[in-house]
Amino acid sequence: MSKTIHFVSLGCAKNRVDTEVMLGVSGLRGYTAVDQPEAADVIVVNTCGFIGPAKEESIDTVLELGAFKEAGSCETLVVAGCLSQRYSSDLAAAMPEVDHFLGSSDMLKLGAVLDGGAERMLVGNPADYTLRATDPRALTGPRHSAYLKIAEGCNRSCSFCAIPAIRGKQRSRPIADLVEEATRLADAGVVELNLVSQDTVAYGRDLPERPTLAALVEALAEVRGVRWVRMHYLYPETLTDPLLEVIAGHPRVLPYVDMPLQHASDAMLRRMRRGHGGKRLYDVVDRLQARVPGLVFRTTFIVGHPGETDEDFEQLRAFVRWAEFDHVGVFLYSHEEGTHAGAMTDLVPARTARARHRTLMRTQRPISRAKLRARIGTEVEVLVDGVSDESEFLLEGRFWGQAPEVDGKVYLSNGRAEPGELRRALVRDAADYDLVADLLDADGRWEAPPGVERPRRRKVRLRTLG
């Protein structure tokens, strides 16, 4: 009988790709993945060590799953990822129940663990590894959508970020290698590629031939079977004309930009060591909105960074109102040792930071709602994800302006469709984050459920922010 293994992946989409590589490694060793930790011979926790709450979640998860090791149902407990990379010695001393520790770039070493006889501490230098198309990988999400990690590490020195210390310097993958992986994913049924890295706009600068992001995106969009290509984590630089032309004009490159801007006040951007002032952000947003018809813009901000004043925060609010972003995420600053900001002493009180978080979300909410309500009565192309969590009688999916897991959904109240299908739909309702739409047939008519002659509306409860 084959051995069983259970994976828990915490943190970002890049971490998920790493978990999928380890899942692929375990499959080559003959292990069967199981959903229940109590049924697993081996448990692997891929941790996040980026900010305080993520570290707490990682530690709590390891301790929770360690109970199966103590109970005897689990033979081997493995802790991998960023938390292991950052605090390997401390974790090893504090968690005797953990059998092996792998770092942020040690996914392939899981094979040695599963073969038996491996050392307990297997945390290596993150700069020694870059993902390759030939590495094993098994998708954990819907078979029609996948993340494609185009680079490892980061060369930036933002004050609040420990990623360069955890993941190492930027290491881009060659275009040919990425096209090879994209082709394999498409052959397996993937139609949506979400490009991720720590600093996507810097892709290729570290390679001798210096390939451009525009060339990469265009090459991936030409892979047979790929229908949607979406870019995440673009740094707010002056984007090149070729990249803007690809985003605006290629039929399979989505006019969707995910660009974490972090703040808008000149003073705060200097303290955050972002390398630019607020004017660049206004210019970048203005240029993107002018050059990319129908642009959907996602961004994130940090509130409560040391030194942030009421005036700085009001400048950020004014920027959000001016830009009218489609999707905004707001993070509370986390005071991290080993970062430049970690040595700052002019901390913002936690209560003030939380109040600013609520205020900025309240500022963005009516903007998001208005953006979605403007789509009522229009047709959108929807990627069907499957049966909705809201009701077994509903389908759900996403239109091209909604990235998986971080944006909203489209609830489909009629017709039939299979996961992975791209279908036309007519939007008929909207809330803060989600849409309700009717599937249309090939002739653009309302598609009735089987056995229904007249249109029948299913009641859909839309999510709102509490």
Q: List pLDDT tens digits, range 126-167.
A: 888 999 999 999 998 889 999 999 999 998 888 988 888 888
Q: Is the confidence at residue 237, as pLDDT, over 90?
A: no
Express each pLDDT in 242-273 by its tens digit.
Answer: 999 999 999 999 999 999 999 999 999 999 99
Three-state secondary structure call for residue 416 = coil
The pair of three-digit structure tokens given for residue 175, joined into one six-digit string: 């275009």
- Which numeric CATH code is attached to 375-466? 2.40.50.140
The CATH number for 4-128, chosen from 3.40.50.12160, 3.40.640.10, 3.30.1330.20, 3.60.110.10, is 3.40.50.12160
Residue 1: band (very low, low, confident or very high) from pLDDT cuts 50, 70, 90: low
Higher pLDDT, 109 or 445: 109
Higher pLDDT, 462 or 142: 142
Q: Which residues is 42 bridged to in the sheet?
A: 5, 76
- Name residue 249's amino acid: G
pLDDT of the residue at 460: 53
pLDDT of the residue at 441: 75
Start-to-end CA span in the chain (Å): 49
Q: Is the confidence at residue 390, as pLDDT, over 80?
A: no
User: Nearest 5 degrees, angle CA 58-CA 63-CA 68?
Assistant: 125
Express each pLDDT in 180-204 by its tens digit.
Answer: 999 999 999 999 999 999 999 999 9
Contact 263, 269 (CB under 8 A): yes
Q: Where in the chain is the domain with CATH 3.80.30.20?
A: 145-373
232 CB neighbour count, 10 Å cutoff? 22
119-137 as b/e, with b when 16 or more CB fall inside 10 Å? eeebbeebeebbbebeebb
Residue 455: band (very low, low, confident or very high) from pLDDT cuts 50, 70, 90: very low
Q: Residue 296: which of 408, 428, 413, 463 has the closest Cα? A: 408
Q: Is the confidence at residue 305, as pLDDT, over 90?
A: yes
The CATH number for 145-373, chosen from 3.30.750.24, 3.80.30.20, 3.40.190.10, 3.20.20.70, is 3.80.30.20
Higher pLDDT, 463 or 364: 364
3-state SS, 240-265, equals CHHHHHHHHHCCCEEEEEECCCECCC
Q: What kind and span of H or E run contains 86? A: helix 82-94
How much of the chain exceeds pLDDT 90, in percent?
Answer: 62
C-alpha span between 170 and 198 (Å, rounded): 8
How much of the chain exceeds pLDDT 70, in percent?
Answer: 94
CA atoms within 13 A on the CB side of 280: 15
pLDDT of the residue at 109: 94
Q: Where in the chain is the domain with CATH 3.40.50.12160?
A: 4-128
Q: Is the confidence at residue 465, as pLDDT, over 60?
A: no
Q: Where in the chain is the domain with CATH 2.40.50.140?
A: 375-466
Contact 236, 284 (CB under 8 A): yes
pLDDT of the residue at 444: 66
The pair of three-digit structure tokens given for residue 461, joined into one six-digit string: 């409860």
Contact 358, 465 (CB under 8 A): no
Q: Is the confidence at residue 464, as pLDDT, over 50?
A: no
List, in order, residues 6 or more apart from 172 with CB less than 8 Å away.
Answer: 150, 151, 197, 202, 203, 204, 205, 206, 207, 211
Window from 120-124, 374-378, 461-465 with minimum mean pLDDT: 461-465
pLDDT of the residue at 3: 92
Three-state secondary structure call for residue 415 = coil
Residue 461: band (very low, low, confident or very high) from pLDDT cuts 50, 70, 90: low
Of how many residues is the chain composed? 466
Residue 79: band (very low, low, confident or very high) from pLDDT cuts 50, 70, 90: very high
Q: Read off the pLDDT of each residue in 416-431 and give the average, rounded to a whole number.
A: 90
pLDDT of the residue at 466: 37
2 CB neighbour count, 10 Å cutoff? 9
Q: Read off the pLDDT of each residue in 84-104 and give the average, rounded to a whole number.
A: 89
List, in order, residues 6 or more apart from 28 with CB less than 8 Å away.
Answer: 111, 136
Q: Which residues is 32 bridged to in the sheet?
A: 4
Q: What kind and span of H or E run contains 286? A: helix 278-291
Three-state secondary structure call for residue 65 = helix
pLDDT of the residue at 336: 84
Higher pLDDT, 94 or 254: 254
